[in-house]
Every structure is written in structure tokens, then in C-alpha cells.
A = this chain, B = another copy of it.
Amino acid sequence: MLTAPVLANDNIIPVSKETKDIATHLRDKAIDDDSAYEILKSLTTEVGARHPGTPGEKAGIEWAINKLKALGFDKVYTEDVNMNGWLRGVETAEILLPSYQKLIITALGRSKSTPEGGLEADIVHFKTYADLEKALDGSLKGKIAFISNRMQQLKDGGGYGPANIARSKGHELAAQKGAEALLIRSIGTDDHRNPHTGATNVAMGYTAVPAVALSNPDADQLVRLMDYGHSPKIRLNIQTKDLGPIVTKNVIGEITGRELPNEVVVIGGHLDSWDLGTGAVDDGAGVAIAMATGAFIKNNAKLRPRRTIRVILWGAEELGLIGARAYAKARQEDGTIANHVIGSESDFGAGPIYGLQSSNNVSPNAIHVVDTMAGLMGKLGVSRRSGDTSGGPDMIPLAALGVPALNLMQDGTDYFDLHHTPDDTFDKVNPEHMRQNLAVWTVFTFIAAEWPGSFK
């Protein structure tokens, strides 16, 4: 006789009908709810940019505390995060030869200053970071290294990584080659004269040489000039400021779980933003979606979820996940990392969610829960997707410690038009998309906090 086929696995705990019914009810109510959009409007309008070490950052933290309280979160608290501050000052560039033309640039994060009054140098053109690698060490003495390749525009943002090495590491390579400064085409997909800033790979302190991004049209202009046979000479003046040690904060709000209050589902976005825009798509949207999700579940679910929903508004993401690393390190040290059931961050703009990925940290016995979430999200245009995920940039340190994560994949086709530019402002956000995000996040968060099984 053969053994009977396995019809059930003792380790698999189903998602109850009641849980699914509540999640469905929440989904269908959230899709008409503008609270995420309204929270984002308030943050981007009444606070604006939130770069660490600026008055805007302080105002943002205060705003977040007050807003979480006003939304009815059960606990609201902050945790200090130590970092070194960096501020942008003067930033100008001009083509001096073959004709005088102003360029629109911005310093990359932690760029060192040029000499006071600027430096003047010819540019040497490299189509890619890899091409600059091929130059002889020390061969660019007295020159500005210019990397011109353009980021590819893709729905999932897949063009970012390959292009971004010029931004993150170009300053070191340019220094190694002997250049006076690094000039890159913005890592962005638009054609507006808004340069894209962003962090360099410098944990604290300054880049090896001044590191600057040109707007896409300005990069085009330099390339065309060289195509005509000209050798552009540039004046570059960047003055930046090292603030030394400063303290920023992670701001945390909790909806306390009814049965397992020590077990936490982590959702969030990062509260800091670059200084050029008002941090609407990066990452006011994520902040607003996470805050709205916690409040919406508390106020609309007939049952307070079993576990605690911890909304973390991460600090200093842009300068290297500084708040997220501090949070994870502290949880590793005090052992509470074990209480982190699952998590995700919304940090890819304000576009609609189309896919749901689960990380390899999610137990095979919990995959059916993710499938159930995706099934309920189907009506919202979301489908189940393969592939591993950290669950968002600020989830990386937690994921590295084994915390399971989901990725609520947003359509990021336009994200890198705005990312890290002055154009990252509230007017770019579609309220319908914010409602869809709230509905999707509500399904995920409620089920994750309510399903009694383990995701690990």
C-alpha cells in the first residue's frame, strides 16, 4: 500500500476566514481613503525638505511626533541616531571655453569643497565608470573627469544600480586617476535642468575629490560640444560644510497588538529627504503611506490586530541608512530582533503597487500567507512576483539579521525623473495612486499582524 498523499502539513497555519474578511473590508474601504495623500500634503507643505542638520529636519521630526499622536497611535517615541552632518553651500559651474555658458549642477552628498572661488580645468570625457577605470592612475592631473552615461528608464528602477556606481564611487576613482574633480551626468531619467544629488560612498567626512552632478540637458550639452571637436574648459565652485557629529532621530509610532504586543510588524518610510526638493516621492510618500496604514487599521478594523504594528520613520536614510543601521544594531544587542516578525518599507515613490515579492527569509510554511495577501490585492492590480528582496533600503540591516520581508513593488517608471531633484514636490503625486498604496499596505499589514503563525 502506498502512503496517502500529504493533504495537510501540521506546520502550516491557515489564514482564517475572519482575517481574510477583515482584510477585504479594510481594502475596500481604504481604496476610497485620502489620508495618506493628506498626510503627505501636510508634510511636504508645512515642513518641506528634511535634510539632517537643517531646520527642516527638526521640523519634520516634530511634525511626525505630533501627527502620529493626532492619528491615534498608542505609543509614539523617538530614538537618537548619531551621525556626521554635511551641508550644501554655494554650487556654480560655467563653461569658460569655447563659449561662456552657465551649467546647472549640484554637489553629491558629502562632496568636499573646491578651493574657495572654484577651480578651472578642462574636462576629460569617459562614457562610463568602466571607461574611467581604464585610464592610467595619475593621468588626469589638472583635469576634471566627466562620466556621461545615462541611466536607463525601467519600471522596476533596474537602471539605477548600474548607473549609480559613478555617483557612489566615481570620486574615489577620479582621485586615483589624479583628477581635480568628478563631474557626472545626473543619475536620473528626466530631461529637465534639475540635477540629481545623492550620496557618495563615504560613511562620514568628505569625498576624495569634489563630486558634482550635471542635469541631463547640461551633460548633453558637454557631450555635443565635444562631438563638435571643442575641448570644454570648466569653472567649478562647490562649497560644502562638515557639521561634525549631530544627532538625528528615528520616529516610531505603534498600534499595540491585542495578544502578542511584543511581536512587531515593521512598516515605514524614511523621514529625512534630500535638501533640493520637498521629499515628496522620496520619501514623504512612504512616510505618509505607513502612518496612514497604521492609523487606518486601528480605526477601521473591527478587531485590533494580534501583533503590534510598528511604524518606523527612519532617519538619515539618504546618507547611508544611518537610522536603520542604528535601529538594527540596538535590536541585535538587546535581543529584541527576535520579536521582529516581518517588515517592509515604502521607499520607491508614489506610484501604484503592481507586485508582491517575499524575501528568502520568509519560511516555506508562511509562503501561503503571502499568496493569500497577493490574492486579496489582486483586485487592486497587484500580482505575486518571484525574486528575493530586502523589503526596502531601510529594511536591509534587519533583513541581514534574518527578519523576513516583503516588497510591495511600485511602478517606478517616473521615479527617477524626480528622485533627489528640486522637482521632488507634492504636485507630482497622484491621489489615486496614494489610495491604492494605502489599500495594498493595509492588506499586508493587517494580515501580517493578525495571522498567528511565524513568518520565520
Query: Which residues does A use to contact B, with CB under 8 Å?
Result: 41-42, 45-49, 54-56, 59, 95, 98-102, 104, 191-194, 216-217, 220-221, 224-225, 228, 230, 277-278, 421-423, 425-428
Contact = CB atoms under 8 A, between A and B. Distances in A.
Nearest to A222: B45
B48 A220 contact: no
Contacts of A221: 45, 48, 278, 425-426
Contacts of A102: 49
Contact of A228 (B46, B98, B425): B46
A149 to B, nearest CB: 16
A230 B193 CA distance: 31
25 contacts: A41-B224, A45-B221, A46-B99, A46-B225, A46-B228, A46-B230, A47-B99, A48-B99, A48-B101, A48-B221, A49-B101, A54-B100, A55-B100, A56-B99, A56-B100, A193-B194, A193-B421, A193-B422, A216-B427, A217-B423, A217-B425, A220-B425, A220-B427, A221-B425, A221-B426
Contacts of A47: 99
B425 A59 contact: no
Nearest to A98: B46
A421 B191 CA distance: 13
A436 B64 CA distance: 55
B220 A426 contact: yes
Nearest to A221: B45
Contacts of A59: 99-100
A55 B99 contact: yes
Given A221-B45, A221-B278, A225-B45, A56 B191 contact: no
Give the number of times this chain occurs in the complex, counting copies.
Answer: 2
Given A46-B228, A221-B425, 7 more contacts: A45-B225, A49-B101, A101-B278, A192-B423, A193-B421, A193-B422, A220-B426
- Which of A48, A193, A228 gathers the greatest number of chain B CB atoms within 10 Å? A193
A217 B42 CA distance: 15
Contacts of A421: 193
User: Considering the complex of A and B, which 6 residue pairs feature the smallest CB-CB distances, nearest first?
Assistant: A48-B101, A193-B422, A217-B425, A45-B224, A55-B100, A59-B99
Given A55-B100, A56-B99, A423-B217, A228 B45 contact: yes
A46 B104 CA distance: 17
A241 B49 CA distance: 32
Contacts of A101: 48-49, 56, 278
A274 to B, nearest CB: 12
Contacts of A95: 48
Contacts of A193: 194, 277, 421-423, 425
A427 B224 CA distance: 11
A438 to B, nearest CB: 21
A46 B228 CA distance: 8
A267 B288 CA distance: 55
A322 B228 CA distance: 33
A43 to B, nearest CB: 11
A95 B47 CA distance: 11
A415 to B, nearest CB: 16
Nearest to A218: B425
A49 B101 CA distance: 7
- Which of A49, A102, A225 gathers the greatest number of chain B CB atoms within 10 Å? A102
A422 B191 CA distance: 11
Nearest to A104: B422
Nearest to A223: B45
Nearest to A277: B193
Contacts of A216: 427
Contacts of A46: 98-99, 225, 228, 230
- Which of A45, A221, A224 gathers the greatest number of chain B CB atoms within 10 Å? A45
Contacts of A277: 193
Contacts of A56: 99-101
Contacts of A41: 224
A337 B41 CA distance: 59
Contacts of A98: 46
